[in-house]
Amino acid sequence: MKKLFLLTLAVCLVACWWITGSPVIAQAKTVKIGAIYPLTGGAAAAGRELKAGAELSAKIANNMMPGLDMDMAKNAGIKSLGGAKIKLIFKDHQANPTLGADLAKKLILDDKVDGMLGCYHSSVTKTVSAVCEQYGVPMINGTSTSPALTTRGFKWFWRTTPHDKWFTKDLFELLKGLTQGKVKGVKAVPEKEISNLASACEKTEWGSHVSSIIKSLAKEYGFNLRKSLLYTAKAPDLSSEVRSLKAARPDVMLFASYTSDAILLVKTLKAQKAKPKIIWGQDAGFEKPEFRSTLRDSIVGILTRTVFLPKVAQIKKVAGQVNALYKGKTGNDLGGASARAFTGVQTWVHILEKAGSTKPADIQRAANAIRIPGDQLVVPWAGIQFTPSGDELGQNVLGSGLIGQYQMVDGKLVLEIIYPFDVATADMIFPFKWF
Amino acid sequence: MDILVSSLFAGLLIGMVLAMVALGLTIIFGVMEIVNFAHGEFLMVGMYTGLLTAQATGMEPLLTLPVAAAAGFLLGIICYFGFVKFVIRGPMVAQLLGTFGLMIFLRNLALLFFGAEDRAIHQGILVGKSFNIGMGVIAPATKLAAAALSVIAFWAVWLVINRTKIGKALTATSLNPQGARYMGISTERMNALAWGIGGGTVTIAGALLVNFWSVNPFIGLLFTMIAFAIVALGGFGSVSGAFFAGLAVGVITEIPGIWDFLTYIFNFGWMADVPMTSLKYMWVYLAYFVIMIVRPRGLFGWKR
């Protein structure tokens, strides 16, 4: 009788341990990821793209999709977590860093999320990642490009996208390439014809960093930055800024703007009859569908840096497959924001698969050791691998950027790849044929 | 030189519209001595009215002025009879807090109906067109039209106030309400009319502004501050003062352009690094501050 009692007790204890402590059963059937994006306000258009990209990625991760050439599509859910599904909990930060931090606390304390994703605006990513760091919650950032975000030594923050220093360097390489005759369809341009630059960047975390990077790279590459100004984001009027830029008589105008500002800037440049030879936007607003649909053929010839163009879908099979799904869902092609939000969730899936657990320490170990091959990604990168130490802790070192140019092909506005030179898909329009 | 001339020209153009923005505030203050903190929100209503009417009917945006004026006039009258009439019996602080509450109410109502997104007019006969009028001055067609219509509307309101019986009754009410009552003027109606004209003029300004300025529910605060500065500069209650102060404030917002001109003349590197465009409204508030200290009744003010 005593033996039977002990046996029953042992069985009960094992059962209790199994129920409460086993890594498989302890994981709920869902892994909750908080996704904080700008779903309303000036960047709502970007927010819609980000949300759609992230949702599509979660859908692929949660369902078996045999026709898709990526590991994430081969299982229904996270295999190492017993098929646990990814559940994204979206919150709207309205481009407000304080609100972002409050939402992050709410997600961590009330919704008990296992990890975080977001936030697009670097200023919001800064405060949200600080909250995650405080609570020891892992955060993957797919779309914020201020270089400062990965120089803070945060242990719970990983960024998949390349940052603005790399992107801006691409621009200066393109300008240098123009003077050396490396650009497809353009004969070598005399240096003095494109030596004068002027920049206008919005003055939150992201834009002010881009502005200072432009300053230092212009110096490094020997260009003359005649005017560099910062303006208030979501500005209702930018005429005095545009007049100031115009007065500098620049050959090249550089911008870092979110959607509503980018549209207003181009409209004002057009109204003021500004005539630069090159207009370049640091992604964000310059790449959004609203930018194209509002300004239509006025933007032919404008350059934007990006990490994804529909043209990538033609040269990368998996990108084409995902793009078809995304287009079916939203009616638009994947863009820089949606492709990177997609990649953000995909990175979460790979990390969770590797960690086999939702414990923060296991996720941290897995993230620091992860290596996702480039052929798994929709973005044209060599892969994803984070620096586990050093000055840029948590930065993906295998990312890269593209520079696209709006061109009219068969009556349709498309973004053609201009840089890197070896994957250029069209001749560059130079100089910019004004409005 | 181009930058100097084009900045001054742009300053005068926007100044004419800003004068129209401030007109309603100065009329309401002149007649009732009440400061309307919700003035910028009235402007926002005008901007949304112009924008939505143009979008819904396909009408040329500049032709929506009568609709905006009617909406503003009605809004002013409703606010007076539904709210101001009662608040005015209380102490000054109750009036201030009351119109402050009205500001928050209107802003949140707009947020509820229209969301926080910026909206702008992208279609119209004049949208995107501009004229090169020499000396490096490029004048956007929408701004030219808005400035011209502002001057016409301003002049019309000035005529009503100075050349009609109703205008004289309004002036009498503002000078001495009790005396006006003894003369058989219904001061209550005059107060309501002041709110109606105040609302109507600022919504006209809103419908003009929305042709080249995007709108969101939070746009009002900026214009409330600018309108206060104009009214303080021109003199509380002075209609002609508001016009000239509007022009002055328009030119003050173009100080960054004047600074650029000086930068290129003197060619000092440090001058190019001063973030003048970020500070353009600071000069307006500074002017407000200085005028409050040096001449509290403003340049043309008669109220003491």
- Length of chain B, please? 304
What are the residues whose beta carbons fall under 8 Å from the beta carbon of A392, sequence distance 6 or more?
A: A150, A151
A267 and B128 within 8 Å at the Cβ level: the answer is: yes
Asked whether residue A240 falls in the same domain as residue A187, the answer is: yes
In a domain, B301, yes or no: no
Instruction: Report the CATH number that the domain containing residue A217 is assigned in CATH.
Output: 3.40.50.2300
Identify the band that residue B147 occupies on the pLDDT scale cut at 50, 70 and 90: very high
Is 90 exceeded by the pLDDT of residue B176?
Answer: no
Residues of B in contact with A227 (CB under 8 A): 272
Task: Tell if the CB–CB gap between A243 and B118 is shorter than 8 Å.
Answer: no
What pLDDT score was predicted for residue A216?
Answer: 93
* B23 and chain A in contact, CB less than 8 A: no
Domain that holds residue B186: 2-294
Token pair recorded at residue A410: 């068969």
* In a domain? residue A2: no
* Backbone phi, psi, residue A98, to 5°: -70, -45
Q: Is residue A259 part of a domain?
A: yes
Q: Which domain holds residue A171?
A: 165-306+401-423
Test mutation, A214, A240, A259, chain B, max B CBs within 10 A: A240
Subunit contact B117:A44, Cβ cutoff 8 A: yes
| Residue B174 burial (CB count, 10 A) | 24
**Token match 């106030």: residue?**
B161
The nearest alpha carbon in chain B to A272 belongs to B138
Give me B76's structure tokens.
Answer: 């002013």
**Which residues of B are less than 8 Å from A270 in CB distance?**
128
* H/E segment holding residue A303: strand A303-306
- Continuous segment of H or E residues that includes residue A320: helix A317-330
CATH number, residue B41: 1.10.3470
The 3 state secondary structure assigned to B133-165 is CCCCCEEEHHHHHHHHHHHHHHHHHHHHHHHCH
The structure tokens 């105008």 sit at A253
Tokens encoding A284: 């964000």
The whole-number pLDDT of residue A260 equals 83
E strand intervals along A93-223: 115-118, 139-141, 157-159, 196-202
How crowded is residue B7: how many other Cβ atoms within 10 Å of its Cβ?
26
Looking at residue A232, its pLDDT comes to: 85
Residue A328 lies in a domain: no
Render each residue's pLDDT in chain A as its tens digit; 435 residues. 555 555 555 555 545 444 444 444 444 489 999 999 999 877 788 899 999 999 999 999 999 998 899 999 999 999 999 999 999 999 999 889 999 999 999 999 999 999 999 899 999 999 999 999 999 999 999 999 888 899 999 999 999 999 988 889 899 999 999 999 999 999 999 999 999 999 999 988 888 889 999 999 999 999 999 889 998 887 778 888 898 898 888 999 999 998 888 998 998 898 888 889 999 998 778 988 888 888 888 899 999 988 888 788 777 889 999 999 999 999 988 888 999 999 999 999 999 999 999 999 999 999 999 999 999 999 988 899 999 888 889 999 998 888 999 999 988 888 899 988 888 889 999 998 875
Q: How confident is the model at residue B151 (pLDDT cuts 50, 70, 90)?
A: very high
A270–chain B nearest CA distance, Å: 7
The count of structural domains within chain A is 2
Residue A10 has a pLDDT of 53
Residues A60, A188 within the same domain: no
ipTM for this prediction: 0.79
Same domain for A202 and A126: no
Q: Is A241 on the interface with B (CB under 8 A)?
A: yes
Within this chain, do residues A35 and A114 fall inside the same structural domain, yes or no? yes
State the smallest CA–CA distance between residue A169 and chain B in angstroms: 23
The answer, for A196 touching chain B at a CB cutoff of 8 Å, is no
The answer to whether the CB atoms of A236 and B214 lie below 8 A apart is: yes
B-chain CB neighbours of A225 within 8 Å are none
A178 in a structural domain: yes
pLDDT on residue A22:
46
Whether residues A126 and A184 share a domain: the answer is no
Whether residues A243 and B222 touch (CB distance < 8 A) is answered with: no
DSSP letter string over B248-265? HHHHHTTHHHHHHHHHHH
Q: Would you say residue A412 lies in a domain?
A: yes
Using only C-alpha atoms, chain A has a radius of gyration, in whole angstroms, of 23
Mean pLDDT of B103-125: 87
CA distances from B59 to A66, B67, B205 (A): 52, 11, 18
Q: Which of B1, B224, B260, B264 is most worth mutating to test chain A (most A CB atoms within 10 A of its CB)?
A: B260
Q: What's the DSSP call for residue A188?
A: P
Could you tell me if B274 lies within 8 Å of chain A, comparing CB atoms? Answer: no
pLDDT for the residue numbered A234: 77
Mean pLDDT (whole number) for B221-248? 89
* pLDDT value, residue A19: 47
Q: Tell me: do A181 and A271 sit in the same domain.
A: yes
How many other C-beta atoms can be found within 10 angstroms of the C-beta atom of residue B205? 33
Q: Using one digit for the tens of pLDDT, what is the confidence trace for B18-27?
A: 999 999 998 8
**What total of structural domains would you count in chain B?**
1
How far is residue A51's CA from residue A34's CA, in Å, rounded to a whole number? 12
Report yes or no on A225 lying in a domain.
yes
- Are residues A75 and A142 part of one domain? yes
Domain identity same for A205 and A292: yes
Angle among Cα A152, A157, A161 to the nearest 5 degrees reads 95
pLDDT value of residue A348: 97
Host H or E run for residue B131: strand B130-132
> Which residue of chain A comes nearest to B116, CA vs CA?
A41
Cβ A272–B140 below 8 Å, yes or no? yes
Q: Is residue A3 part of a domain?
A: no
> Residue B257: inside a domain, yes or no?
yes
Same domain, A134 and A214: no
